[in-house]
Structure formats: structure tokens, C-alpha cells
Amino acid sequence: MIELKNVTKEFKVGAKDKVVALKDINLHVQKGEIVLLKGPSGSGKSTILSLIAALNKPTIGEVIVDGKRVSKLADNFTSLFRRENIGFIFQRYNLIPSLSAKENVIVPLIPSNPDSNWLEDRLQELFQNFSLESKMEVMVKNLSGGEQQRVAIARALVNNPSIIIADEPTANLDKKLSLEFIEILKKLKNGHNSIIIASHDPLFFDLDFIDRQIDIHNGEIL
Amino acid sequence: MKSKINLFLFDFSVLSIFRRGSKNIFIFFVFTLLIFLLSSVLFISNSIKSELDTTLNALPDITVQRLQAGRAINMPLSRLNKLLAIDGVNAVIPRVWGYYYFANAGANFSVVGIDQFEDQYRDLYTKLCDKFNFDKLKKDSGMLIGSGIDQMLKNNFYQGYFNFVKPDGSLAKVKIDGVFKADTALESNDVIVMPIKKVREIFGMKPDEAVDFVIKVANPSEIPNIARKITEIYPDTRVITKEDLKISYQNLFDYKGGLFLALFVISTFTFFMIIYDKASGVSSDEKREIGILKAVGWTIDDILKEKFYEAFVISFVSFITALCLSMFYVYFLNAPLLRNIFIGYSNLKPAFDLPFSFDFQTFAIIFFLTVPIYIAATIIPSWRVASMDADEVMR
């Protein structure tokens, strides 16, 4: 279970142009639940996702995931927490352009020094699922936007995370590719993962497999 | 199969070196050049120092000169017995030698007289000289010359002999019966060895005089006492001990070492400038990559390990390459250009070979002055970036 308790997040704390991204937010996400955070750009959706993934820390309040106060963890432990629990699909994919698709997908597993046979099987499985078998050795900078996004999803799933976070996943995709992504999400729902999506794309608004939609505006949950 | 060593991480590091190819090739080139310079300087310095040590060990225990108004003049042989009578003195050897100015080449030769070419030294001379026939030398009363002089005489059309001009203006023709080998040229390059009688003739010295005396002492710790006794007996003498000579040689070496030190400082300074430049920032691409690695679950330790491998591979390969190049340059090519700073022991430019001298300490100095500093300069800025929130770094 994911819980945000009285979370406020400010950027440039103490400066004149201080930005209050979140104001006293409270949020609960159940295990296996798919939640859509919707709202205009700058409303604070991405900040919530960053806090859940422990990429950032709240200014006030706390973030608890599976009973663990991730907002209080030391830096190295937040990395371990992400490695073991989080699969993050970034808006701009955040792939390493000079690596191949396969190398990008392996990246999250490198520090845990995986068994090479297991890794090979896992890669085959993922690349087959996302119809990327022929692109394994291609540099990601040479892939199309849709392919890059599928590589980013494969990377997010490679460590079997219990929480999948997608930040504006369709922002850089055309409608066809956006629908393809939604199909992938549907499949992931069957995997009993908690999925949190931040998007203002109307394509997500009427999807029946999304359990809950939360409106965010000016850093507040409506 | 799972390996205990994280080969994936090592692979990733090596891959990263190639991914940032042009930048790393530049760093490799500069780093190799600097280590090459540093190590060449130290190798030459070591080589000369080992040669110097050999020379210093062969120095006489005590040298006695006679002074007149502060100027060295010849020493009467009659003083020899009194010196021999001093307790602790094993032997007193009169030396006849001098500098002969060869105007055509504008160079001084160091002419050294020896009693005679004795059979007991046959092997020694044969070992020291090229194309040498001892019996001919003995018969001719000829001379042995340094390789520098040999070359100079050939350039001045002297083949197999040289005409010395005596003080009365007449000529003394002396045959060349041997040339010292090039690898002893640091000491022997401008040296001529010939019978004492010939030297006296050339320098117009009386038969009962020597230039100075060298004294052999049984117990080296007695050298200062014996030196004091000599000045008591002969107040007009200057007594130079082995220690004094060592200091004087050492000063000469240190002067040359100082020039090398200047080179050393310049190359080290350049090295640190480059290191500073590298340490002062991480490129935006690298910064973003560190952010991505953190975001997908790499800890600061993982990132630093990766950066360590990357820096270690670059710096260690540079280090080994530079050492190999440097050894080839110093010991095989004889350090062209750099060696000119060190020569000057003699009045002729010696064509000596730098003797190989392996000194583990030198390797350690070069290693610790370069590789760990480069690694630190790479890791510290990465650590600064990796310590920030991943979200902030990727933004």
C-alpha cells in the first residue's frame, strides 16, 4: 500500500521565487490498484510520482510504501527501494541514447549482478512481449518514439516491480501508439501490480480498467 | 552463471569509455604524454644517479693538493714518506694529470698519467676498451682515449695518433692504442690515459713532482683524523676527503637535477591543470546519465564503482603505455633531447648509453602521482552529482 500523509513539497525553499508544488496532500493507493492522476501541466502530478518513487523528498509530511517510510530513507536505501519495488516510465523515457535497447533494459539489474542465464531468459521474454526482438542490439537513439517507449517500459518491468509509475506516458506518442500503450497497461493490470499514471491525455479518462481517477489542481487534490 | 565479481558493472564501465570515445581518446593521449614525460625524467635521473653512485664509490679516500696563494701547484714527491708514516694510512699514490686544451675543437682533454701499463691491469683495460691490444699499448707507450675524443680527433683528421704541443712549443706524438667503450663515456668521454712520463713531458712537469696525492686509508672512520694530521704536517695543503668530493659531485648532480625538476614541475603542473579542468565539472550528458542510473535503482556506491572502473582502466592503460614508451625512449633510444640537459660532466659532449636501472620506488612514485589522482579527479565530481536527488539531476 502507498500512503502520502500531509505532504507538502516546495522547490527553491527560502528563495523569493519559491514554488509550492504540493499542498498538504493525503493519498492512499491499495495494492494492485490502478490510479490515474489527472490535471493540467504544473498541477503537481509528476511531483507526487517522484515522491512515491523516492526520487525526491517531501518538504513536509511523509511517504510510506508497504509500511516503509521511504521519505525518511537515506540516499542509498532509496536507490535500493527503487531497484526492488519501482518501475518508472518517464515522460521523456530517460533512456541512455548511446546504449542499445538491450543494454538499456539491463541497466537497472547491473548492480545486483544477475545470473546471466536468468537475465538472457528475462530479456527474451520482455523483448518478445513488446515485439522488440529485432531491435535488441539497435542503439535507442535510432529507434522510433514508440519503440523507445516500449524499451522504457521493458526497462521499468525488468526487475518485476510491485509498483509501476508512468509519468505522462503518451505525451510524445501519436494516437495509435498511445492506444498500444494502453493495451500494454491492461496486460500489466493482470500482473497484480499497483500502477499509478499521471496524465492529462483524455484517452485515459474513460478506461474501464482504471480503478480510480484523482484530480489534481495547483498542488491540491480536488 | 553468476560470477562473484560484478562483470556486468565492469563491462558497463568499459562500454562507457568507448561511448565517450573522442573525449576519452583525448584524455588518454594527454595522460600518456604526461606520464611519459614524468617517467622519462625520473628514468634518466635514476640512470645517471646509479652511474654517479658507481663513480662515487671509486673515489679516493683523501686527495692532497699543495696550495700557493690559494692556487693549486705541483706537489714534491719528497713529502710522500711523511704522509705514509701517519698511522692508518695504507698507501699514498702520487697522481700526474692535467687539462690539455685542444684549440682546434675548443675543448679540454683530461689527461691522466699512470705509472705504466702493467700486466695485472690487462683484463681491466681489455674490458673497458674497444678494439684493444694490450701488448701494442705497452710497446708503443701509447694512450687510451675516451670515445668523445676519438670522434673529435677523427673529425680533425688525426688517425691513430695525436700531436700534443709541449710547453717549449715542440710536439709529442702519442699513438692511440685503445678507445674506452661508449657505455663508460659518462666518466671517460674526455679522458686520456697514458704513461706518467709522457704526461710530465706534455705538461712540462719535473720528474720529482706530482699534481696531487691520493691516500688510501684502512679505516674510513679515521679519514677526518688523518686529514687533520696532514694539514698539521703540511699547512700549505688542501685536504679533500671522499665526503667532500661526494658533496661536490652531488651538487653538480643536483644542479642538473634542478633542471629536471623544472621540467618535472612543468609537466606536473600541466597534469594538474588538466585534472582540475576535469574535476571541475561533469558534462551535462554524464550528469543526466548519473541521474538516470540513480532513478533506476543504482546506489551512490554503484555509480562510484562504475566511475572508478572507468577511470582506472583509462589511467592504468595510459600508465602502462607511457612507461613502455618511456623505457623505449630512455634505454633504447638514449633519450634524445632530454639527455642534453644532463650532460656536461666532461668538456666534450659524451655519447654515453644510459644504463638500465630498475627502481621500484620510481614506478611507485609515478603511479601514485598520476593514477590515483586521476581516479579521484573523476570520482569526486561524479560523487557530488550522485549525492543529489535523482529527480534534480535529471531535470
What is the average pLDDT value for chain A, to the nearest integer? 89
Would the CB atoms of B297 and A83 count as touching at under 8 Å? yes
Q: Which three cell numbers stand for residue B17?
A: 569509455
B298 contacts on A by Cβ (under 8 Å): 79, 83, 108, 110-111
Higher-confidence position of B386 and B260:
B386
Q: Where are the domains of chain B?
A: 7-55+249-394, 95-208
Query: Distance (Å) from the C-alpha of residue B53 to the closest C-alpha of chain A?
Result: 54
Report the pLDDT value the prediction gives residue B357, as an integer from 0 to 100: 75
Share of chain B above pLDDT 90, in %: 30
Report the pLDDT value the prediction gives residue B119, as an integer from 0 to 100: 63
User: Which ranges of chain B would DSSP assign to H, the alpha helix?
Assistant: 7-19, 21-57, 80-84, 122-128, 134-140, 147-155, 185-188, 196-203, 223-233, 242-279, 284-295, 300-327, 339-342, 360-386, 390-394
What average pLDDT does range B177-181 have in this prediction?
A: 81
A74 touches chain B (CB under 8 A): no
pLDDT at B135 over 50: yes
Report the pLDDT value the prediction gives residue B266, as an integer from 0 to 100: 76
What average pLDDT does range A12-39 have in this prediction?
A: 88
Q: Give which of B325, B330, B354, B306 is closest to B20, Cα–Cα.
A: B306
Residues 81-110 of B with CB under 8 A from A: none
Q: Give which of B191, B161, B201 is closest to B177, Cα–Cα.
A: B161
pLDDT at A44 over 80: yes
Q: Are B238 and B70 in contact (CB under 8 A)?
A: no
Report the pLDDT value the prediction gives residue B149, as an integer from 0 to 100: 86
Give the three-state DSSP class for B53: helix
What average pLDDT does range B385-394 have in this prediction?
A: 84
Query: Distance (Å) from the C-alpha of residue B289 to the closest C-alpha of chain A?
Result: 7
Residues 96-155 of A with CB under 8 A from B: 96, 98-99, 103, 106-111, 113-117, 155
Of A95-99, A187-191, B60-64, the range with the highest mean pLDDT is A95-99
Domain A2-221 has CATH 3.40.50.300: yes
The pLDDT tens digits of the residues spanning A144-164 come to 888 998 999 999 989 889 999
What average pLDDT does range B327-339 have in this prediction?
A: 84
A114 contacts on B by Cβ (under 8 Å): 2, 8
Q: Are B41 and B341 in contact (CB under 8 A)?
A: no
Would the CB atoms of A55 and B389 count as touching at under 8 Å? yes
Would the CB atoms of B295 and A96 count as touching at under 8 Å? no
Share of chain B above pLDDT 70, in %: 86
Helix (H) or strand (E) holding B62: strand B62-68
pLDDT at B364 over 50: yes
pLDDT at B141 over 60: yes
Q: Are B356 and B44 in contact (CB under 8 A)?
A: no
B293 touches chain A (CB under 8 A): yes
pLDDT at B348 over 50: no
The pLDDT tens digits of the residues spanning B160-170 come to 889 999 999 99
What average pLDDT does range A163-167 have in this prediction?
A: 93
What is the average pLDDT value for chain B, to the nearest integer? 83
pLDDT at A64 over 50: yes
Q: Computed over its alpha carbons, how large is the radius of gyration of chain A?
A: 17
Query: Distance (Å) from the C-alpha of residue B19 to the closest C-alpha of chain A?
Result: 6
pLDDT band for position B345 (50/70/90)?
A: very low
Q: Are A81 and A54 in contact (CB under 8 A)?
A: yes
- CA B204/CA B211 separation, integer angstroms: 12
pLDDT band for position B117 (50/70/90)?
A: low
B7 contacts on A by Cβ (under 8 Å): 113
pLDDT band for position B388 (50/70/90)?
A: confident
Higher-confidence position of B141 and B241:
B241
Would the CB atoms of A88 and B392 count as touching at under 8 Å? no
What string of DSSP letters covers B289-330? HHHHHHHTT--HHHHHHHHHHHHHHHHHHHHHHHHHHHHIII
pLDDT band for position B253 (50/70/90)?
A: low
Report the pLDDT value the prediction gives residue B259, as an integer from 0 to 100: 67
Would the CB atoms of B297 and A79 count as touching at under 8 Å? yes
- CA B188/CA B148 separation, integer angstroms: 8
Of A177-186, B148-157, B197-206, the range with the highest mean pLDDT is B197-206
* Residue type (1 letter), B224: P
Higher-confidence position of B209 and B265:
B209
pLDDT band for position B6 (50/70/90)?
A: confident
Would the CB atoms of B300 and A79 count as touching at under 8 Å? yes
Q: Where are the domains of chain A?
A: 2-221
Q: Which three cell numbers stand for residue A179?
A: 492506444
The pLDDT tens digits of the residues spanning B49-78 come to 777 777 777 778 899 999 998 898 999 999
- CA B252/CA B233 separation, integer angstroms: 32
The label of the residue with cell 674526455 reads B190
Please state the three-class secondary structure of B187-217 as a single string. Answer: HHCCEEEEEHHHHHHHHCCCCCEECEEEEEE
**Residue of A55, A70, A88 for testing the chain B interface, max B β-carbons within 10 Å:** A55
* Residue type (1 letter), B214: V
Q: Which of A52-66, B41-55, B142-156 has the lowest mean pLDDT?
A: B41-55
What average pLDDT does range A125-134 have in this prediction?
A: 88
Residue A52 C-alpha from the chain's centroid = 9
pLDDT band for position A166 (50/70/90)?
A: very high
The pLDDT tens digits of the residues spanning B255-314 come to 666 666 677 777 777 777 776 676 566 788 888 999 999 999 999 999 999 999 999 999
B392 touches chain A (CB under 8 A): yes
Give the three-state DSSP class for B168: coil
Strand partners, B178: B144
Report the pLDDT value the prediction gives residue B343, as an integer from 0 to 100: 56
* Residue type (1 letter), A85: N
Burial tier of B44 (Cβ tally within 10 Å: 0-12, 13-18, 19+): buried
Predicted ipTM of the assembly: 0.91
Report the pLDDT value the prediction gives residue B352, as an integer from 0 to 100: 57
pLDDT at B211 over 60: yes
What average pLDDT does range B5-28 have in this prediction?
A: 88
